[in-house]
Structure 1
Amino acid sequence: MTERIRRIFNNNALLAINEKGQEVIYVGRGLAYGCSKGDIVRKEYIDKTFSLSSDHNEKFTELIEEFSLEDILLAEKAISYIKQKSKDVLSDSIYVTLTDHISIMLERIRKGCDFDYTSLLNIKQLYHEEFKIAEGVVDLISQDLKMEIPKAEANFITLHIVNASTDSNIVKVYKITNMMTGILNIVKTRFDISETDNIDYDRFVTHCRFLVNRIIDQQKTNLDSGKELKAWSSLISIYDDENECVNEITDYLLQKYNYSINKEERLYLMLHLAKLTR
């Protein structure tokens, strides 16, 4: 089947229907130059092919029309690297969000605009695996463009990876991050904890992420069972410091987010803290 041009975005990008009857975006230098709608696609000019879900296809075409071919291809290279390294299935949303971020990031760096990263200091601890991948993306971009990209940019790229792997939205990821930061600050104030190569810390962070996700999604756990209530009552005397920390976390979530933790959730927080602190 001969593929014909359905829409031209610019000299370097076009929309076509492939052999399977699917809409695909082709990009390549000079690919659509001198062409018109209905012309045969010159496949020898194609550098990359994008076949995204309909939810993200239109937004991605807007970026293609706005950004340079170099930025589009660089972002695709970065996303391919992320997909290769990530254990999670990534939503097509990453083609929109990360392409947009990388192009704006490069413009910002070239103009010498600094960004305050202090609000993102906990990203590495909250999303350890994703952060390592993001660091690789920073190195990839630096080597590809032969320019210095601040290592701290890995924080933002991490959020985009998390966003795509949970298939949520970046606003929700920021909410999760802020809530998690508050919880971990309470724990770090009370206990001297090593975050590096500490499997118990990673487990605690993972547990808190599930808790915070439930809070944001407004999901309640089951009512306290008698068995768990009995376990909680017997353990609070053994883990007094950990219980006080859980009480502080409970107050924080209630006052700031109007979420009341039941005894079942407090029990599991306390047990994770006990493993972490002892």
Structure 2
Amino acid sequence: MARRDAAQAPRGAIKVLNNNVVVAVDPQGGERVLMGRGLAFGLRPGGDIDPAKVEKTFILAQGEQGERERQILASAPYAVVEAVSAAVDDAERFLGRRLGRRLVLAVIDHVQFALERLKDAVRIPTAMPEIRVLYPKESAAAARMTDSIGAALGVVLPEEETVFLTMHLLNVTRGMPDGATTLLFRRVRHVVATVETELGVTLDPDSADYARFVIHVQFLLQRLVNDAMLRNSDVSFLEFTKHTYPRSYAIARQVKTYVVGATGTELTDEELMYVTVHVERLAQQVSGGGQDTRC
């Protein structure tokens, strides 16, 4: 998203999308979407655009993606565009980096669907405490965005929106392709849920052991994708762990079965050993045991 620049703003409208949105061509021949309250009121194609009324400028992508972006901006109420733009500006200051057009458009599109769900009283349960542990900075920025957008629009957005907005931020800040973030957290959540079920507890997401476990699972899954799993030819450590912590080893084996089914890749013995040790730490946290199994 570009800030207003009256000196460079195209003056001739080629398409009026609604009272607040027009499409114009810049001096380099690229299409831009110009937005501002009442910018296009009474304006016809070819008419002069008043640069003083241009509040926001979006440089469109090429091809089908550009057409989708145009549709998003044409269908979005201007109040949503303003609310999202202000929230992204705040997130940029909070994170200390530019976030760009891609995030603004993705969040505008997302917020429109969120408002429709809110109107229809439809909730999408998304309990992912892991995301706050793994990416505290992006999660905090997303929480600020959720509050800011809700306040600007006069609604209370459900807490799950913070999770969704965190994922949008991660797609930009971590360079993750669309869908990769969601898939990673689904897999982390499944592993955590498996451990919780087998231990018969709900783990404390604010505990240090929980944070270590979640971070380890994330790195394990990333090592697996990058074909860089931990390997050690000495199996004695795994045998010691297996016999010392049989219950935790059995749970780790279940995690291994899930990972194989989800990714088609076997965990190495060393990866299995470390999962076992982390599960044992969680088991001792739950039982109040004090034996240190730090890895």
Task: State the TM-score, normalized to the length of structure 1.
Answer: 0.77
| Cross-structure match for 1:48 | 56
1:102 pairs, out of 86, 92, 111, with 111
Return the letter of the residue paired with 2:189: T
SS of residue paired to 1:226? coil
- Contact kept in structure 1, 2:23 and 2:33, CA below 8 Å: yes
| Cross-structure match for 1:211 | 220
1:202 Cα deviation (Å)?
2.1
In structure 2, relative to structure 1, the CA distance for the partners of 1:189 and 1:223 (3 Å cut) is closer
| Cross-structure match for 2:288 | none
- Contact kept in structure 1, 2:14 and 2:25, CA below 8 Å: no
Q: Where does structure 2 lack aligned partners over 5 or more consecutive residues?
A: 1-6, 285-291
Task: State the TM-score, normalized to the length of structure 2.
Answer: 0.74
1:247 Cα deviation (Å)?
1.3
Q: Where does structure 1 lack aligned partners over 5 or more consecutive residues?
A: none
1:75 Cα deviation (Å)?
1.9
* Structure-2 separation of matches of 1:223 and 1:159: 28
1:4-83 counterparts in 2 under 5 A?
Answer: 4-5=11-12, 7-8=14-15, 9-16=17-24, 24-37=32-45, 39-51=47-59, 54=62, 57-83=66-92
- Contact kept in structure 2, 1:71 and 1:102, CA below 8 Å: yes
| Cross-structure match for 1:143 | 151
In structure 2, relative to structure 1, the CA distance for the partners of 1:214 and 1:105 (3 Å cut) is same
1:222-261 counterparts in 2 under 5 A?
Answer: 224-226=231-233, 229-255=235-261, 257-261=263-267
* Structure-2 separation of matches of 1:64 and 1:193: 42
- Contact kept in structure 1, 2:131 and 2:163, CA below 8 Å: no
Question: What are the superposed Cα offsets for residues 18-67 of structure 1, whole Å, 9 maximum, x if unpaired?
Answer: 57876543210122334455555422102223346658544322211122
Return the letter of the residue paired with 1:172: A
| Cross-structure match for 1:114 | 122
Return the letter of the residue paired with 1:5: G
Percent identity of the aligned residues? 21
Question: What are the superposed Cα offsets for residues 116-148 of structure 1, whole Å, 9 maximum, x if unpaired?
Answer: 41xx22x23334424433332232123212333
1:135-174 counterparts in 2 under 5 A?
Answer: 135-174=143-182
| Cross-structure match for 1:93 | 102
* Structure-2 separation of matches of 1:67 and 1:27: 11
* Structure-2 separation of matches of 1:60 and 1:100: 9
Higher alpha-carbon deviation: 152-161 or 71-80: 152-161
| Cross-structure match for 2:287 | none
* Structure-2 separation of matches of 1:42 and 1:23: 17
| Cross-structure match for 1:262 | 268
Higher alpha-carbon deviation: 257-266 or 160-169: 160-169
* Structure-1 separation of matches of 2:195 and 2:27: 57
In structure 2, relative to structure 1, the CA distance for the partners of 1:4 and 1:62 (3 Å cut) is same
SS of residue paired to 1:63? helix
Between Structure 1 and Structure 2, how many residues are aligned? 271
* Structure-2 separation of matches of 1:78 and 1:89: 13
- Contact kept in structure 1, 2:88 and 2:99, CA below 8 Å: no
